[in-house]
Chain A
Amino acid sequence: MAAGILRYNRVLNRACFVAAAAFLAACSKPGSENPPPLPKLQIERFKPQIRARIEEAYRAALARPDDAAANGGLGMLLQAFEQLESAEACYRRARAFDPGRFDWAYYLGLVQSQNGENAEAAKNLAGAIRIDPGYVPAKIKLAEVLLILGRLEESRQISEALVREDPRIAPAYYWLGRAAAARGDLRQAEQWYAQACEQWPSYGTAHYALALAYQKTGQTAEAQQHMSAYQKYQANGDPQPEDPKLEAVRALDNSAIAHLMRAVDLENAGQLRQAIAEDEEAARQDPNLVQAQANLISLYARAGEPEKAEQAYRAVLAVNPNLPQSHYDYGVFLVSRARFAEAEAAFRKAIESSPHYAEAHSNLGAMLERRGRMNEAAREYRAAIEDKPNFRQAHYQLGRLLLMDHKPAQAIEELRQTLEPSDEATPQFLYALGVACAEVHDFASARDYLRRGASQAQALGQDELASRIQGVLGRLEQSGGK
């Protein structure tokens, strides 16, 4: 099981379940309706490997039309490939043939919820819970579905039962908060959301809800604090209850695209080696899946494998010579190898394919600047800013260039655009801005920017930069700039 997944005790105290029992008992009994026919599948355009698997499962379901496992198995495969309407029909059949099996009721509820059929989803999720009262993910999903349906009290009862059973279940607090907020009780909602955050500090969604609740009740400092936490974690940090049933479905999709998607997630999580492995598998399965090769260029470059980065670039070119991202990533890689002329060519190719590629313009500007072609460099920086007005690096590069060209007033205009947000690049930007202000004899501003730059550099451990800024500050004082 991947790190960061909540482990909940599935063995629950049955006594605690009584609170929600009234609702669950009221739900319809399974198997009372005629099962729908097996869905007619149009899978001719599926990838052959996927099509073959589905066809095999489909044949099994046709051969044993009353067999719950055959129908349900086909449903799982279809769900894995996001054929949710067909999956729903299969699960309905499976549930009709084997109403006592948890899996079919649960899967049916899940896909119905995804298909927007929440009233039906609530019935089947409740049915699943009746079969296995200890399956926490089903209860969390049911609380959500009931809230969507506006059945706030029932949602509250399910979530309350959950937190009584196990006070560590952060999503249950979140849904309690949502139910309270929907009733208009923001103070109560705040308390539940706060408990969700306490149980799971990286619970981005709960921080978001709490921030908005605080904002509405006028607690702006708290709102800002939790919104910052949300921005830090977003929804990626949300607790995912261990859900082996759903994992079993997901595991059925081992296609090239699934590997590619997993690679993107792993790269975003900073797990380069694992991302490379997933992209490599995607590329192995489908050499024409050019995006996998394209992603590998920068992954290999960052992992210190230059030969493989070159290979990946060539593999992309063989399939699609015009992908702007691959040229750009290759250009960045070439810069890291000090192959500047080739890098310049790569950035130009990226721009040929995508004329509004701000980062490519900016990097091309840097390459031109290295060759002393300042006017052309400035034009590229301006193009980057035109396409992406908040592009701080391009503003900085252009500002620096203008400063060197003895146009400090124009440089100040550009450098002022670099100060938000504040991050590790800010001291360098403050340094340049301070120097530009000194050039126009605005010594007060110069001192202010330089002091802020020095102080921030120091705080960020950028000692060499801090020392340089201090040197300029010292010279400024000595020269009488007051």
Chain B
Amino acid sequence: MRAAAVALACLLAACSPRAGEAPGPRFREAAAETGLDFHHFTGATGKFYLPEIMGSGVALLDYDGDGDLDVFFVQGAPLDPGAPLVFPPPAGFKPGNRLFRNLLKETGKLRFVDVTEQAGLASTGYGMGVAVADYNNDGHPDLYVTNFGSNVLYRNNGNGTFTDVTSDAGLAAGGWSTSASWFDYDQDGLLDLYVARYLDFTVRGNKDCFTPAGERDYCSPKAYKGLAGKLYRNLGNGKFEDVTQITGVGAVSAPGLGVRAADFNGDGRPDLYVANDGEANLLWLNSGGGTFREAALLAGAAYSADGVARAGMGLAVGDFDASGNQSIFVTNLTREGATLYRNSGNAQFSDSTMQFGLYLPTVPFTGFGTEWFDYDNDGRPDLFIANGAVTMVEALRGEPYPYHQRNLLLHNEGARFRDVSAEAGAPFALSEVGRGAAFGDIDNNGTLDIVVANNNGPARLLLNETKSPNHWLALRLGGVKSNRDAIGARVVAQRTGHPPLVAEVHTGGSYLSSNDPRIHFGVGDATAVSIRIEWPSGIREEWTNVRVDAEIKLIEGSGRRIP
């Protein structure tokens, strides 16, 4: 009897990992059951217009300030109005971008309702991406939607509605915009905006492209010319100034898809990294004084180790190795593999993809949305990648939409990453055409969830149901002298017996998408941590003995000043 009890105890122990250990991942797809009913429409008419295959983004934001994350999806549109559609939208389809309000706080149940029309967000453009931030420091997150065509800035009125202020703000950009990133490059407390732009493709100038066997397919970006990204300075009066030329970031015209601002060289100033499709990625180091210098080549962050430009799509920036440095992970094309640029400090990067075991799991897929996110709260940021091809997958030839692939979940085990997709639940068995992906704690349960925007298909909500004994801490920062969202603030969580966890407040990154602005730390077995924040204003503060497993708000100026 005793032996049996011991055996049972061992079995139970084996099933329940202790704090600090890695529990098995478990995600559940819950879009339909929660009312997150969004189906992406490409407008495809058989002419293989390039925007049709590039997908769209998704944003997680608390637009109504009720304490839970709402979801905003960007939608496509017909590019060739009147032409017969290859994939007509499903019954009940509502055109245009969609805002879904999360009813969690008021009902206690995760449930979404479509509030697009009430919110004044109905649109008819061909949508690509979305970037969220409180650009006017009024306490309400605003939306910037990028398009194939003119972009739109929606100011949040604070009463559940938005107003299109693009014209006043001067942020239409034009051309084909993709990802955008809010950041305060001149550190004046006002959020500025970088808009990546892709190619000079036009519907009228569409080119016919073919597979090597002569089948019609989508063109490579090399069929068109890349466009320079745009940088806009926030003047603080609702208007923005186009500073692309005078800051220097217009010096390179390249097909930009992913962008993220972060302090890569530790000088306290936010830099920019742009993932380009088929051309050298760009690292714009902020020189101060309102200018940037491009430094990717000698920094080792332009190409993969073999000196070849990859098809950069989405990107994730974070301190995955507890070095305190912001490393970059870029998703690429099938047969290229993703690229991990490990930052050894001072913006010196090494292509460490193979060393960390990230080449072999990623090489069969074309990756898009991605982020470092600690799904099991063990203190080591893991990776999710939304995958989907851009040219026909050989094995899927004959299918109506032969571009689908499955997504990837890669567990950070310190020295290497392990592909845990097969054990992470049914969502990872789905094969779809993944594009945008946004990350955040949607059900406010202390684990990070994912929303995936699929191309020509339904959006997916991947609820993280990983049974983890590990602890966590969510931080909502409030800037006072700094921008109100504290975007760019460097946050350090110190735990006894472990290296510090470092993160920068951001919403951008991934692909065409915008993440939960809260900093989420998985802290393993720690039950209390110290928090140090370097605010964009330069103020440094500390909070000690912060209890975990909670969301706390830290306001600039409320902590203990440190040198």
A388 to B394, CA, bound (A): 37
Q: Is the CB of A356 within 8 A of B207?
A: no
Q: Is the CB of A387 within 8 A of B213?
A: no
Q: Is the CB of A43 within 8 A of B213?
A: yes
- CB neighbours (8 Å) of B398 from chain A are 42, 44
Chain B nearest CB from A57 CB (Å) reads 13
- CB neighbours (8 Å) of B99 from chain A are none
- CB neighbours (8 Å) of A85 from chain B are 394-395
Q: Is the CB of B214 within 8 A of A46?
A: yes
Q: Give chain B interface residues in 146-175, CB to chain A under 8 Å.
A: 174-175
Selected contact of A353 from candidates B202, B252, B305, B357, CB within 8 Å: B202
Chain B nearest CB from A477 CB (Å) reads 34
Chain A nearest CB from B367 CB (Å) reads 13
Selected contact of B212 from candidates A114, A205, A258, CB within 8 Å: A258
Q: Is the CB of B205 within 8 A of A353?
A: yes
A354 to B307, CA, bound (A): 32
A50 to B213, CA, bound (A): 7
Residue B559 interfacial (CB < 8 Å): no
Chain A residue at minimal CB-CB distance from B201: A354
Chain B nearest CB from A405 CB (Å) reads 20
Q: Is the CB of A389 within 8 A of B360?
A: no
Chain B nearest CB from A271 CB (Å) reads 20
Residue B210 interfacial (CB < 8 Å): yes
**Contact mask for chain A residues 78-114; partner B; CB cutoff 8 A; 1 contact, 0 none:** 0011111110000000000000000000000000001
**Contact mask for chain A residues 129-161; partner B; CB cutoff 8 A; 1 contact, 0 none:** 000000000000000000111100000000000
- CB neighbours (8 Å) of A182 from chain B are 354-355
Q: Give chain A interface residues in 160-218, CB to chain B under 8 Å.
A: 178, 182, 204-205, 207-209, 211-212, 215-216
Q: Is the CB of B228 within 8 A of A389?
A: yes
**Contact mask for chain B residues 329-372; partner A; CB cutoff 8 A; 1 contact, 0 none:** 00000010100000010001010001101011001100000000
Residue A306 interfacial (CB < 8 Å): no
Selected contact of B227 from candidates A116, A118, A356, CB within 8 Å: A356
Q: Is the CB of A148 within 8 A of B212?
A: no
Residue A332 interfacial (CB < 8 Å): no
Stretch at the interface among A223-231, A429-437, A443-451: A223-231
Q: Is the CB of A354 within 8 A of B394?
A: no
Residue B306 interfacial (CB < 8 Å): yes
Q: Is the CB of B250 within 8 A of A116?
A: no
A11 to B39, CA, bound (A): 61
Stretch at the interface among B54-62, B296-304, B499-507, B542-550: B296-304
Residue A290 interfacial (CB < 8 Å): yes
Contact of A208 with B251 at beta-carbon distance under 8 Å, contacts A150-B354, A291-B208, A356-B175 already known: no
Q: Is the CB of A290 within 8 A of B208?
A: yes
A356 to B149, CA, bound (A): 11
**Contact mask for chain A residues 281-317; partner B; CB cutoff 8 A; 1 contact, 0 none:** 0000000001100000000000000000000000000
Residue B200 interfacial (CB < 8 Å): yes
Residue B211 interfacial (CB < 8 Å): yes
Residue B308 interfacial (CB < 8 Å): yes
Contact of A389 with B245 at beta-carbon distance under 8 Å, contacts A82-B213, A352-B204, A356-B200 already known: yes
Chain B nearest CB from A377 CB (Å) reads 20
Q: Is the CB of B207 within 8 A of A323?
A: yes
A352 to B202, CA, bound (A): 10
Residue A340 interfacial (CB < 8 Å): no
Residue B215 interfacial (CB < 8 Å): yes
- CB neighbours (8 Å) of B360 from chain A are 116, 118, 148-149
Chain A residue at minimal CB-CB distance from B344: A216
- CB neighbours (8 Å) of A43 from chain B are 213
Q: Is the CB of A211 within 8 A of B298?
A: yes
- CB neighbours (8 Å) of B350 from chain A are 212, 216
Contact of A390 with B204 at beta-carbon distance under 8 Å, contacts A209-B307, A257-B212 already known: no
Contact of A390 with B252 at beta-carbon distance under 8 Å, contacts A115-B364, A205-B306, A417-B245 already known: yes
Q: Give chain A interface residues in 323-364, CB to chain B under 8 Å.
A: 323-324, 352-358
Residue A243 interfacial (CB < 8 Å): no
- CB neighbours (8 Å) of B395 from chain A are 85
- CB neighbours (8 Å) of A82 from chain B are 211-213, 394
Residue B253 interfacial (CB < 8 Å): yes
- CB neighbours (8 Å) of B206 from chain A are 322
Centre residue among A44, A147, A148 by max chain B CB count within 10 A:
A148
Chain B nearest CB from A89 CB (Å) reads 11
Residue A234 interfacial (CB < 8 Å): yes
Q: Is the CB of B394 within 8 A of A324?
A: no
Residue B244 interfacial (CB < 8 Å): yes
Residue A470 interfacial (CB < 8 Å): no
Q: Is the CB of B207 within 8 A of A215?
A: no
Residue B397 interfacial (CB < 8 Å): yes
Residue A253 interfacial (CB < 8 Å): yes
Q: Is the CB of A148 within 8 A of B306?
A: no
Q: Is the CB of B200 within 8 A of A215?
A: no
Chain A nearest CB from B63 CB (Å) reads 33
A47 to B212, CA, bound (A): 9
A257 to B213, CA, bound (A): 8
Q: Is the CB of B175 within 8 A of A387?
A: yes
Chain B nearest CB from A369 CB (Å) reads 22
- CB neighbours (8 Å) of A291 from chain B are 207-208
- CB neighbours (8 Å) of B213 from chain A are 43, 46-47, 50-51, 81-83
- CB neighbours (8 Å) of A257 from chain B are 210, 212, 214
Contact of A216 with B306 at beta-carbon distance under 8 Å, contacts A46-B213, A182-B355 already known: no
A357 to B398, CA, bound (A): 37
Q: Is the CB of A86 within 8 A of B214?
A: no
Selected contact of B202 from candidates A46, A178, A354, A420, CB within 8 Å: A354
Chain A residue at minimal CB-CB distance from B416: A150
- CB neighbours (8 Å) of B175 from chain A are 356, 387
- CB neighbours (8 Å) of B251 from chain A are 389-390, 420
Q: Is the CB of B364 within 8 A of A86?
A: no
- CB neighbours (8 Å) of B228 from chain A are 387-390
**Contact mask for chain B residues 186-229; partner A; CB cutoff 8 A; 1 contact, 0 none:** 00000000000000101011111011111110000000010110
Q: Is the CB of A357 within 8 A of B200?
A: yes
A255 to B213, CA, bound (A): 8
Centre residue among B212, B335, B355, B360 by max chain A CB count within 10 A:
B212
Residue A6 interfacial (CB < 8 Å): no
Q: Is the CB of A253 within 8 A of B298?
A: no
Residue A235 interfacial (CB < 8 Å): yes
Residue A45 interfacial (CB < 8 Å): yes
Q: Is the CB of A322 within 8 A of B394?
A: no
Q: Is the CB of B363 within 8 A of A355?
A: no
- CB neighbours (8 Å) of A209 from chain B are 305-307
- CB neighbours (8 Å) of A323 from chain B are 205, 207
A50 to B207, CA, bound (A): 22
Contact of A204 with B307 at beta-carbon distance under 8 Å, contacts A50-B214, A257-B214, A354-B202 already known: yes
Chain B nearest CB from A385 CB (Å) reads 8
Q: Is the CB of B306 within 8 A of A47?
A: no
Q: Is the CB of B200 within 8 A of A354?
A: yes
Q: Is the CB of B204 within 8 A of A235?
A: no
Selected contact of A324 from candidates B202, B297, B363, CB within 8 Å: B202
A46 to B213, CA, bound (A): 5
Chain A residue at minimal CB-CB distance from B307: A208
* 6 shortest interchain CB distances as A-B pairs: A389-B250, A47-B214, A208-B307, A116-B363, A42-B398, A353-B205
Seed contacts A47-B213, A216-B300; 11 additional CB < 8 Å A-B pairs: A45-B215, A45-B397, A86-B394, A148-B354, A205-B307, A209-B307, A224-B298, A353-B205, A354-B205, A389-B228, A389-B253
21 contacts between A and B (CB under 8 A): A45-B216, A51-B213, A82-B213, A82-B394, A83-B394, A116-B363, A150-B355, A178-B305, A182-B355, A205-B306, A208-B307, A212-B300, A212-B350, A216-B348, A227-B297, A323-B205, A353-B204, A356-B200, A356-B227, A387-B200, A389-B253
The chain A residues found within 8 Å of chain B, CB to CB, are 42-47, 49-51, 80-86, 114-116, 118, 147-150, 178, 182, 204-205, 207-209, 211-212, 215-216, 223-224, 227, 230-231, 234-235, 253, 255-258, 290-291, 320, 322-324, 352-358, 385, 387-390, 417, 420
